[in-house]
Amino acid sequence: MTTAQEKCDERELRTLFLFEKLTPDQLTQLCRDGHVEWFDPGPVYREGDPAASFFVLFHGTVVLSRSVGGQQVDVSRTSEAGVYAGAFQAYLGDQVPQVYNNSLRVTERSRFFVLPAEAFAEIMRSWFPMAVHLLEGLFFGFKSTQEAVGQRERLLALGSVTAGLTHELNNPAAAAVRATSALRERIARVRREFAELAAEPRSGGDLAHLRELQDMTIGRLGHASALDPLEASDREDEIGDWLEAHSVADGWETAPVLVEAGLGIDWLDRIAGALPEDLLGRALNWLSCTVEAELLLNEIEDAVHRVSALVGAAKQYTQLDRAPYQNADVHELLDSTLMLLSAKIGPNITVVRDYDRTLPSIPGYPAELNQVWTNLIDNAVWAMRSTGAGGTLTARTARDGNQVLVEVRDTGPGVPADVQSRVFDPFFSTKPVGEGTGLGLDISWRIIVNRHGGDLRLESVPGDTRFQVRLPINPAERDPSEDDALG
C-alpha cells in the first residue's frame, strides 16, 4: 500500500550519497524523471516480477529477502538513508533478464526516491558511458569466469569419479586376466589326467563312476563356510595327513585347493570308498584339477559381475541414457557415487549408510544431484585426511516433513565458526591454494536451491560436520526453461 506521490526536492536529493556529486542540471533531470513515494509497511516489490523501478531510501526501514526452498529468507535489513535496490541492472538492457532478483519490503512507513527503470538506464548510459562499459565488462567478465571455473569444478568432480572408476575396474579386470591364464593351464591338466585314467585297461566302468563323483563334487562347491586363517591351516593339515596316509602324490599342494572349495575328510572318504585303491591317487588329482577350474571360473564370474556393477554405477551416476528431469531414488544415486569414489575414500575411512528405505522417489535432475553428492563426499574425505588420520563418513537419509533429507557427515576437524557463513560463497575455499576452486559448494547450493527448490545447510563442530540437503517430495510446477544446463 502506498500514499500519494510527491515531487522531489533537488536539495534533498543531493543529501543522498548516490547523488551528492551531481550537477544542478543532473539533479533537475532526476527530479523531472522520478518522484518521491511513501510506502506503508509491507511489500514494495517481489522477486521475479518485472524490474520496473529503481528505489533509493530517504528514511524508513527496508528488508531484502530471497526465496530459498519455497521460504523467504532475509538477507539484509537497514535504515541507512541512500541505500538502493530494484532495477539497478537496467543499463544492461535485454542482455540480462530485467526482473527483480530479490524481494523488498518495509517494516515501517518509509519514503523513497523512485526512478523508472527506463529513465535510470538512459541516465546511466548518457551520463556515465565509460562507467557503463566498465560495469558491463565486470558483470559479464565475472559471469564468464564463474561459468568457466564452474565447468572446471564439474570436470574435477568427473575426474574424481573417473579416477575411482578406472582404479576399481582395473582390480576385477586384472583378476579375470590372471584367473583366465590359470584356468587355461588347469584345463590342460584336466585333459592330461583324464587321458591317463582312460588309458587304464579296466577303467571303463570306473570312468563312468568318476563322472558321477565329478558331478557330486561340483555340486558341493560354493557351500563352504568362511574359515579364519588358523582354521584353514588346521583343515589343510588334516587333509594333507589323509592324502599322505593314502599315498596320494603331491597331497600338500592339493590340500589348500580342497579346503578353499569346502571339501573335507568326509568327501575324501566317499571318493576312496567308491574307487579301487590303485586308481585313487590319479582320480583325486583329476578331481582336484576340476575343482581348481571351477574355482577359477567362479573368480572370473565374480570379476565380471564386479565390472558389470561398476559400469551400472557409472551409468547411474551419469544418467546418460535417461531424461534430465525424472523421478529418482536418492539411495541409488548415493550408492553409485560412493561406489565410484571408493578408491578415493580409501580403506582408512569407514563408510556408514544410514538410509530410510521408506522414502519415496523424488522428481529432479539426478545427474546434477550426483554432482552435489560428489562435492560433499569429496570435501568430507579431504577434511578427514587433512588431520593425517581416517574417520567415519556417514550418508544418512530421512523424511523431514514434506521433504527428503540427505545428510553427509564426517568426523574431520570441522569448519571454523567464523567462516561457516561464507562456505557457499563463490570462490571461497578452506582448502590450500591449488587444491580447490571455491565453486564446489556454490554450484551445489545452486543445484539444490535454484534447480530443485530445496535447501542446503551446514552444521559443524570439531569432529562432527554435517551438510544437510533437503529436497521437496512434491515440488511446485517447473518452468520448462529450467531444463537448460546450470550456468
- The answer to which of 21-35, 68-82, 116-130, 144-158 has the lowest mean pLDDT is 144-158
Concatenate the DSSP letters of all residues of 233-260 into one string: HHHHHHHHHHHHHTT-TTHHHHHHHHHH
Question: Could you count the other beta carbons within 10 Å of the beta carbon of residue 436?
Answer: 19
The reply to whether 142 falls in a domain is no
CB half-sphere exposure, 318, CA atoms < 13 A: 13
The Cα 396–Cα 407 span in angstroms is 5
Q: What pLDDT is recorded for position 281?
A: 73
Q: Could you tell me if 304 and 329 lie in one domain?
A: no
The Cα 2–Cα 265 span in angstroms is 96
- For cell 569448519, name the residue: 415
The reply to whether 138 falls in a domain is no
- Nearest 5°: CA angle at 184, between 180 and 189? 145
Q: Could you tell me if 167 and 297 lie in one domain?
A: yes
**Cell numbers for 424:** 557457499
Integer angstrom CA distances of residue 387 from 179, 232, 379, 384: 40, 39, 13, 6
Q: What pLDDT is recorded for position 331?
A: 93
Q: Could you tell me if 234 and 258 lie in one domain?
A: yes
CB half-sphere exposure, 280, CA atoms < 13 A: 21
Please give the residue range of the domain that contains residue 38: 10-127
Residue 118 scores a pLDDT above 90 = no
Residue 483 scores a pLDDT above 50 = no
Burial class (CB in 10 A: 0-12, 13-18, 19+), 7: exposed
Q: Could you tell me if 87 and 166 lie in one domain?
A: no
The Cα 215–Cα 194 span in angstroms is 15
Mean pLDDT of 364-374: 86
What CATH number should be reported for the domain holding residue 92?
A: 2.60.120.10
- The pairing of strands 455-461 and 391-400 is unpaired
Which bin fits 456, alpha (ψ -120 to 50), beta or left (φ > 0)? beta
Residue 277 scores a pLDDT above 70 = yes
The reply to whether 150 falls in a domain is no
Q: Could you tell me if 178 and 60 lie in one domain?
A: no
How many domains are contained in the chain? 3
The Cα 431–Cα 362 span in angstroms is 33
Residue 469 scores a pLDDT above 90 = yes
- Note whether 38 and 110 are within 8 A (CB): yes
The Cα 352–Cα 336 span in angstroms is 14
The reply to whether 52 falls in a domain is yes
Q: Could you tell me if 298 and 198 lie in one domain?
A: yes
Q: Could you tell me if 114 and 202 lie in one domain?
A: no
Which pLDDT band, with edges at 50, 70 and 90, does 485 fall under? very low
Out of 195-199, 248-252, 370-374, the most confident range is 370-374
Q: Could you tell me if 329 and 305 lie in one domain?
A: no
Q: Could you tell me if 336 and 291 lie in one domain?
A: no
Q: Could you tell me if 344 and 414 lie in one domain?
A: yes
**Cell numbers for 314:** 557409472
Closest CA to 104 of 48, 158, 152, 154: 48
Q: Could you tell me if 75 and 224 lie in one domain?
A: no
Q: Could you tell me if 344 and 253 lie in one domain?
A: no
The reply to whether 98 falls in a domain is yes
The reply to whether 140 falls in a domain is no
Question: pLDDT tens digits, residue range 407-446?
Answer: 999 999 888 888 887 787 766 666 654 455 556 788 888 8
Backbone angles phi, psi at 361, to 5 degrees: -65, 150
Question: pLDDT tens digits, residue range 61-104?
Answer: 988 887 754 556 677 788 889 888 888 776 666 676 778 878 88
- The answer to which of 17-21, 126-130, 144-148, 481-485 has the lowest mean pLDDT is 481-485
**Cell numbers for 263:** 571339501
**For all residues of the chain together, what is the average pLDDT?**
77
- Note whether 335 and 313 are within 8 A (CB): yes
- Note whether 272 and 246 are within 8 A (CB): yes
The Cα 270–Cα 89 span in angstroms is 90
The reply to whether 5 falls in a domain is no
For 424-485, strand residue ranges (E) read 455-461, 464-472
Q: What pLDDT is recorded for position 405?
A: 95
What CATH number should be reported for the domain holding residue 349?
A: 3.30.565.10
The answer to pTM > 0.75 is: no
Question: pLDDT tens digits, residue range 378-405?
Answer: 889 988 988 777 899 999 999 999 999 9
Q: Which of 309, 341, 369 is the last residue of a domain?
A: 309
Concatenate the DSSP letters of all residues of 351-414 into one string: EEEE--TTPPPEEE-HHHHHHHHHHHHHHHHHHHHTTTS-EEEEEEEEEETTEEEEEEEE-SS-
Which bin fits 264, alpha (ψ -120 to 50), beta or left (φ > 0)? beta
Q: What pLDDT is recorded for position 265?
A: 82
Q: What pLDDT is recorded for position 487?
A: 32
Question: Could you count the other beta carbons within 10 Å of the beta carbon of residue 475?
Answer: 17
Bridge-partner residues for 89, per DSSP? none
**Cell numbers for 40:** 506503508
Cα-only R_g, the chain: 36
Q: What are the residues whose beta carbons fall under 8 Å from the beta carbon of 354, sequence distance 6 or more? A: 394, 395, 396, 397
- Note whether 414 and 460 are within 8 A (CB): yes
Closest CA to 20 of 81, 94, 88: 81
The reply to whether 428 falls in a domain is yes
